[in-house]
Structure 1
Amino acid sequence: MTETLVLTSADLRAARLEKPKIRDRDLAAALGVSEAELLAAHVGPKVIRIHAHPDRLMPAVESFGPVMALTRNASCVHEKDGLYANYHPGEHAAMILNEAIDLRIFPSHWRYAFAVETETETGPRRSFQIFDAAGDAVHKVFLRDGANLDAWDAAKRDLAMTDQSDAMRTDPRQPPDGAKFNIAKLDVLQEEWRRLTDTHQFLRLCAKLKMNRLGAYRIAGTPFVRPLAVSAVDTMLKRASADKIPLMIFVGNRGCIQIHSGPVHEIKPMGPWQNVLDPEFNLHLRLDHVAEVWAVDKPTKRGSAISVEAFDADGSLILQAFGVGKKGADTRPAWNALVETLETAS
C-alpha cells in the first residue's frame, strides 16, 4: 500500500519559494492540498487568520472604499470593481446589493478567512480571502487604489482570531451532484413550471421533486428548455458585445454567487479562456470546460425570464446569463431575440 505524503507547513512554504509566480490555486492543486491550507502555512505578519462569518466581514469591507470583488468556480472567474454597501444579513442567505457589487452569500460555507498582504511589482496587494470547509475559495476582496488603509489596519486587528496556527487540515471536497431527475415526476414538473411567478421558485420546485437544476432541464423538453451547442456561450458573449445588449451574468460556488448587470465590451480570447476585459468588470471563462448549454424559459409576473446556462462535464453550473429587465431599462426583448439565434445542440 502506498502511503499518502503529508506536506508540512514548512514544505508548503518551501514550495511557494520555489515557484513564487504561480497562482495560489494552481500551486495548491499541484501539491495536492487546498488553497486555504497553502495560505495558512504562511500565517504571520502578512497572512492573518480572521473571523469568516459575513456578519463580521461585510461591515469591515464596507469601510475599505474602492475594492475588487472576486467570486469563482473551477471554470469561471467573475471580478467586479466598486464599493461594498447595503449588506443584508441572513441565517441561510445574505446579500450585498448595490449597483456595482451584487452578491448572494451562503454563510454556512464561509468557514475560513485570511487577511493577506502580498508584495507585487506595483506594491503591496491587500485582500480578504474566504474559503469553505474543503479549503476552496468562495469569495475574495482586493483593495484598489484609494482604499482606506486605516480601515484595513483596523479590520485586521478587530477580526484577528486567537488561533494563528500555520497548520490546517480541511475537509474532503464534496463530489459534484451531477444531474438528478425523476422521469416519473415529469408531468408534475411541467405543470408546476408553468405556474412559476418568480425564478427563485424554481429550485424549490426541483427540491420538492427530488431533482436538481440540470436534471430538470434534461427531461423538461419544449417550451421550457432548448439544448444549445457548447459554442453558444462564446457566441452569446460576442453578440451581446457587438449589439450592445446588457446582460446579467451570474457566477458562483457553494458559498457565494456574484452578479454583473450591464454591458460587456472587450471580448478577448487567451488560450482556452474567453475573457471580458472591461474597466470595472472582468470575466474569465474556460471554454474547454463547457460541456452542456441550455436556453431556459421560466415564467414570472413580468413575463418570461430567459437564460443561457452552461455546465461542465460533471454537471456543475459554470455560469448563467439573463437579459437586464429592471429600473425602466428593459432590454430583455433584444436579449430574447439573441437567444433565439443561438445554435441548437445537434
Structure 2
Amino acid sequence: MPSCLSASNGNSHNIKEINVNSALYERYQQAKADNKAKYARDLAAYLNVSEAQLLHSRVGHDKAVRLNVDAPTLLTELATVGKVKAITRNEYVVHEQVGRYDNATFSPHGGLILNPRALDLRMFFSHWDAIFALTEDSKHGERHSVQFFDKQGDALHKVYTTDETDMAAWQALIEKYATPDNAELTHEPAAAFTSQPVSEELKQQLEQEWRNMTDVHQFFVLLKKNNLSRQQVFTAVSDDLAWKVPNDSFNQLINTAFKDQNEIMIFVGNRGCVQIFTGEIKKIMPYQSEGSDLKWLNIFNPDFTLHMIENGIAECWVTRKPTQDGHVTSLEVFDNQGNQIAQMYGQRTEGTPEQEQWRQQVTALPRI
C-alpha cells in the first residue's frame, strides 16, 4: 500500500512548503527571542526574507490567515467596520491616518478613497498581490490588522482596528474571506527603470510641455511619454519651474507651517499606494535614540501621525506646475535611490489659487 506522501505530487509540494514555512517561523521566533528587531519589517530584513514571506510563515502558527479576495472588494467592504487606522509607508517615511474607508471609487487599474482632511488614498492595483489578516498580542491587548503586499513582498498598506472599530463587522469580514489555502508566494523583481539621456532638443521640448500644463496630473504624462525620472526633468527645465533646496527643507516647512498654523498637504507613498494628510500641524517631536545615527522627525496630530527618518533624505526640490488656477508649488523629497519618499503642498481646493502664505513659506527656502 503506497504511503500518502507517494500517492500525490501535490501533497509532496504542500509538505515541502510547510517545512520551509516552519523553518522560517522557527528562525523568526528565535530572532524575536534574541531581540534582533522590534517590528516585522525589520525582523524580515534581519532574516533576509520579505515581510510578506514572514507573515506567510506565521499562518498556521499564529493568529494569521490568508484572505482570498481582491483588494478593491475588501477596501470597499472595510467601510462597514467604521473607524480604523490606515498606514502607508516607504523606506524612510510612515504615514498613519485614523479614518473610514468611505467614498471609494475603483477602476481596473486604480482607486481612490476620497475623504480630504481624513482618510485620503490613491491606489495603483497592478502592484497589489497577497492579503493577510493578523491578530497579535500587544501591551494594550489584542491588535487586529489587514495587510496588503506587493509582488516584491513589501507592505503597500495596512489597516488596524481602533477603539471605535465595529469588531463584529471586522470579524465577519475576516471570516468571509479567510482561506485555508496559503498558497506559496511568488515574488518578482521590481521593474528596473531605464531612462533616456536628455538632449538639448529634449530640454526645450520639456520646458514647453511643462509650461503648457493646465493640471498638475499632466506631469505624470510628461514623465511617461519621455521616459524620464522626475529629477531629470527638474534639472532640464528653467529654475523658475524647479530648483533644488537643502535636505532639511521638509523639516523647515513643517516647523514653519506649525508656527503659522496654515493647512498643508503631506503625500507619502510607495509603488502601489499614496496616503494624503490635509490640515494644520499640531505637534512636532524630533527624536534620536541613544547609540543610533537615525534622526527621526515625528508629527503627532489627534488622527494623523508621521514618522520620517531625516537621514534618508538625499535631495529636495521645489517645483512650480501651471494649472488653470495659477501655479501650484510643492516640495518633493527623494532618497538616494531617486525614489520620492514624500511630497508637500499647501492645502488647495480645486478651482481656487494656492495659498499665498504657503507660496511665501516655500520661496523663503534657500536655493542650492
The interval holding the TM-score normalised by the smaller chain is over 0.9
1:304 to partner: Cα distance: 0.8
User: Is contact 2:285–2:297 with CA below 8 Å preserved after alignment?
Assistant: yes
How far, CA to CA, are the matches of 1:134 and 1:38 in structure 2?
Answer: 13
Residue 203 of structure 1 corresponds to 220
Structure 2: runs of 5 or more not aligned: 1-18, 289-294
User: Is contact 1:70–1:140 with CA below 8 Å preserved after alignment?
Assistant: yes
How far, CA to CA, are the matches of 1:185 and 1:218 in structure 2?
Answer: 12
1:102 to partner: Cα distance: 0.6
Residue 278 of structure 1 corresponds to 301
Residue 158 of structure 2 corresponds to 140
1:239 to partner: Cα distance: 0.9
Q: Does 1:192 align with 2:209?
A: yes
Residue 35 of structure 1 corresponds to 51
Alpha-carbon RMSD across the aligned residues, in angstroms, is: 2.0
How far, CA to CA, are the matches of 1:92 and 1:30 in structure 2?
Answer: 34
1:174 to partner: Cα distance: 4.4
1:84 to partner: Cα distance: 1.0
1:330 to partner: Cα distance: 6.7
How far, CA to CA, are the matches of 2:241 and 2:24 in structure 1?
Answer: 49
Residue 314 of structure 1 corresponds to 337
Aligned match of 1:245 in 262, 282, 306?
Answer: 262
Aligned match of 2:136 in 118, 129, 135?
Answer: 118
Aligned match of 1:155 in 167, 173, 198?
Answer: 173
Please give the per-residue CA displacement for 1:170-208, whole angstroms capped at 9, x wherever unaligned.
223445x48765233111111111111100001101211
Residue 288 of structure 1 corresponds to 311
- Which aligned pairs between 1:322-333 and structure 2 lie closer than 5 A? 322-326=345-349, 332-333=355-356
Residue 365 of structure 2 corresponds to 342
1:14 to partner: Cα distance: 2.0
Return closer, same or farther for 1:333/1:67 CA change in 2, 3 Å cut-off. same
Q: Does 1:16 align with 2:32?
A: no
TM-score of the superposition, structure 1-length normalised? 0.92
Structure 1: runs of 5 or more not aligned: 1-6
Quote the sequence identity (%): 35
User: Is contact 2:332–2:343 with CA below 8 Å preserved after alignment?
Assistant: yes
Higher helix share: 2
Question: Greater RCO between the two (CA within 8 Å, min separation 6)?
Answer: 1
Write the letter of the residue equivalent to 1:33: V
1:282 to partner: Cα distance: 0.6
How far, CA to CA, are the matches of 1:343 and 1:160 in structure 2?
Answer: 53
Secondary structure at the aligned position of 1:38 is classed as: helix
Please give the per-residue CA displacement for 1:3-33, whole angstroms capped at 9, x wherever unaligned.
xxxx932232223323166100000011110
1:52 to partner: Cα distance: 5.2
Larger Rg: 2
**Would you say how many aligned residue pairs link Structure 1 and Structure 2?**
337
1:276 to partner: Cα distance: 0.6
Aligned match of 2:279 in 262, 276, 282?
Answer: 262
Secondary structure at the aligned position of 1:41 is classed as: helix
